[in-house]
């Protein structure tokens, strides 16, 4: 079963990479670009066949390794 874990900085945490990308887009002539936030997408292939168990395993992986729970949040989706 395939899982997708999306990790993003929590609201209120500064995102210098997102800010740099936003400024670069403006510099390239893209108008109307608001706040840009950068995160990461992690795709996992699990042997688990139960979607609920797979999602729970993905959440545990995110809490233990994939996300820094102090400054990041995550979302797990069965793909």
Q: Where are the domains of the chain?
A: 2-78
Query: What pTM value is reported for the model?
Result: 0.89
Q: Which residues of 21-60 are buried (b: 16+ CB within 10 A; e: fewer)?
A: ebeeeeeeeeeeeeebeebeebebeeebeeeeebbebbbe
Taking residues 30-54, what's their average pLDDT?
Answer: 97
Res. 73 pLDDT band, cuts 50 70 90: very high
pLDDT tens-digit profile of 24-35?
999 999 999 999
Task: Please give the CATH architecture assigned to the domain spanning 2-78.
Answer: 2-Layer Sandwich (3.30)
Taking residues 33-50, what's their average pLDDT?
Answer: 97
């Amino acid at each position: 079963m395939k899982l997708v874990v999306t990790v993003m900085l929590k609201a209120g945490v500064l995102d210098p990479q997102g800010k740099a990308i936003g400024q670069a887009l403006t510099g390239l002539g893209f108008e109307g670009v608001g706040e840009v936030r950068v995160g990461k997408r992690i795709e996992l292939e699990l042997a688990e066949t139960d979607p609920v168990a797979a999602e729970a395993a993905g959440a545990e992986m995110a809490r233990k390794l994939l996300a820094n729970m102090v400054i990041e949040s995550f979302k797990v989706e069965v793909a």
